[in-house]
Chains A and B, each alone.
Chain A
C-alpha cells in the first residue's frame, strides 16, 4: 500500500535508463525519482547526458534499455498520453519567424487541442506571465533572444502541463534576462508545477531548486537536496575558529585530534579541516571551550556551490 502511495506521488520514475549512439554510451543505467511539485535541478557538464535524459522524457528518443515514466505512464509505450502532461523547452530551438507572437501561441495551443475561445482567454494570460504582453502583435523574428526564450517557455505552458522539462532555459541570456527567467520559474514553482531544469551552472539553479541531481559521463553521481549532497560529498568541512589569543597553542592542542585533517593559522583565526559530522563538530567546540581557549567565533565555512560541483564532477566531461 505504501509503495503504491509512494509511486502515486512520483511525477518522474526512471530505472536503469541507458542510451547508446553507436559505440558511445550517453546514459549508463541511471535511476531517478522525482516527486510531484518538486523543482529538480539537473546539473552536469556539457555532454554528460542531461539533454538525452530530457529528450527521452519528452518522448523524442527511445532508450536503449530501462524505462522512464511520467506520472506513472511509460514514455515509450504511451507517448501521446505523456505529451499531454509535459511542457518541453529544448536547449536549442527555432521559431517560425513569419508568425506573430500571438499567432505562434495560437498555433501551439491549437496543436494541443485547445479551442479558439479557450486560447483567446489563455494566451493574454501567458503573455502577461512571461512579460511579453506588449509584443503580442510583433513578429517572432523581431524579438530578442531573451524574449524568444520567454516565448518558448509560454509555449511550453500553453496546455497547462503538470511537468515542465526545461533544458538550459537560461543559456545564452544576459544577466538581466537570466533574472527575468528566474523570476518566472519561481512563479511557476509557486503554481505547484513539477519542474525539471538543467544547467551546467549550479549556482544558477541553487535559489529555486528543491533537489539536484548531478550527472557525469552518463552516470548519476549524486541526488538529493543541496545540503545533503554537500554533506555527502564534501567530507572535509572547513571550520574557522576565531580566538582572542592563543592561536598557536590551539593548533598544537588539536594536532592529535583524530578527525582533524589539517590546520593553519590565519591571523586571529585557526582554519581547521574537519572530517566529522555535526555531533562530532559540536563535541570539538565543547572540548576547545572546556580547555579554556577564548573562542570568539566558531564557524563552518559555507562551501560554494561551484566547489561542490567541481568536487563531484571529476572534470574532463566538458571536453566531450
Chain B
C-alpha cells in the first residue's frame, strides 16, 4: 500500500512538475495571459449583460430567463476561450523543450516518459484552471439576480476542466509527435476546430440528407436517433445538453411519450465525456510511447 502511495507521489509530485510550476509562474507571459483572459471574459460579460438586458425588455427588469441566457452565453464564451487557450499552452510543452535543446537532457534522466508527459499536462492544466477559477467573480454577476444554482455552476466548471484535459491531451500528443512547436500548435487548433465546426458540418450534411425522410413521419424514432450521436462529438452541443437536455431530440422529432431512446438513459454530455475519455487515453498513451525513441523491454523503461 505504501509502495503504491510512493509511486503515486512520484508520478504526481515529481521534479518535472515542480520545475514546470516554477518556470511557468516566474514567466511574465503567464501573468499577461491571465490578465488578457480576465479582460476578455470581463468585456464579454459586460457586453452580454447590456445587450441581453436591453434586448429582453426595455424596462430594465432582469428576470430569471435573462440570467439563464447570460449564464449560457458566458459559459459558451468561456468554452471558446478555453478552446483557444489550451492548444497554445500545451502544444509547445515537449516540442518547446526539443527546440530549446533541453529535451535530450531530460530524457537521459530516470524520469519515466509517463511521469514527464503527465506532469507537463498537469502543469498546463493547473495554469488553465487558475485562469478559469479566477473568472468566478465575473460569474458572480449572474448570482446577483438568481436563477442559476451553484450545482449548475459546478457542473459547468467540471465540464470546462474536462475540456481542458481533452484539448491539452491533443496538444501534448502533437507536441510529442512534431518537432516544431508551430506545427504542433496548428495541428492542435485544427483538431479543436474540427471538434467544434467539423462535427457540426457533418451533422448538418447528414441531417439535410435525411430531413425529408424524418419530416415524412415514416421513420421510427430509433431509426434516426443515431444522427444525434454525431453531435455527441461536439463540445458546444455537449455543453448545451447540460442546460437543455431535451433540445437535440426535438431536432429529429424523436420526442415521444412512449419511445425511450439512448439519450433518455445517457445524457449527451455524458456520452461526450465517455467518447473523449477514450480518445484522451489514446492520446496520452501515444505521447508516452513516442516521447523516447528507445523504449526498452521492461515497463519501467516507459
Contacts and interface: CB of A to CB of B under 8 A. Distances in A.
A95 B105 CA distance: 9
Interface stretch (A80-88, A206-214, A222-230): A80-88
B257 interface: no
Contacts of B22: 98-99, 103
A18 B174 CA distance: 29
Contacts of A58: 104, 108
B108 A113 contact: no
A4 B119 CA distance: 43
B108 A110 contact: no
Nearest to A90: B104
Interface in A70-114: 75-80, 83-84, 86, 88, 90, 92-96, 98-99, 103, 106-108, 110-113
B298 interface: yes
A132 to B, nearest CB: 17
B105 A79 contact: no
Given A61-B293, A93-B102, A83 B15 contact: no
A60 B105 contact: no
Nearest to A95: B102
Interface in B89-118: 100-102, 104-112
Contacts of A88: 104-105, 108
A107 B108 contact: no
B23 A78 contact: no
Contacts of B297: 77-78
A243 B80 CA distance: 93
Contacts of A83: 108-110
A106 B292 CA distance: 23
A62 interface: yes
B193 to A, nearest CB: 32
Contact of A99 (B23, B108, B295): B23
B56 interface: no
A269 interface: no
A78 B104 contact: no
Contacts of A28: none
Contact of B18 (A77, A90, A107, A112): A107
Nearest to B23: A98
Given A60-B294, A78-B297, A155 B105 contact: yes
Interface residues on B, range: 20 to 34
Interface string A23-36: 00000000000000
B55 interface: no
B16 interface: yes
Interface in B238-296: 292-296
A95 B100 CA distance: 8
Nearest to A110: B15
B23 A80 contact: no
A79 B110 contact: no
A75 B294 contact: yes
A194 interface: no
A59 interface: yes
Contacts of B18: 107, 110
Interface string A20-63: 00000000000000000000000000000000000100111110
A155 B16 CA distance: 15
A94 B101 contact: yes
A96 B14 CA distance: 17
Nearest to B101: A94
A96 B23 contact: yes
B27 interface: yes
Contacts of B298: 78, 80
Contact of A79 (B16, B106, B111, B301): B301
Given A94-B102, A108-B15, A111-B106, 16 more contacts: A58-B108, A62-B293, A62-B294, A79-B292, A80-B110, A83-B108, A90-B101, A93-B104, A95-B102, A96-B19, A98-B27, A99-B19, A107-B15, A110-B14, A111-B111, A112-B109
Interface of A: 55, 58-62, 75-80, 83-84, 86, 88, 90, 92-96, 98-99, 103, 106-108, 110-113, 152, 155, 159
Interface of B: 14-16, 18-19, 22-23, 26-27, 100-102, 104-112, 292-298, 300-301
23 contacts: A59-B108, A59-B292, A60-B104, A60-B107, A79-B301, A80-B110, A80-B112, A80-B300, A83-B110, A86-B108, A88-B104, A93-B104, A96-B19, A96-B23, A99-B22, A99-B23, A107-B18, A111-B15, A111-B109, A111-B110, A112-B109, A152-B105, A155-B105
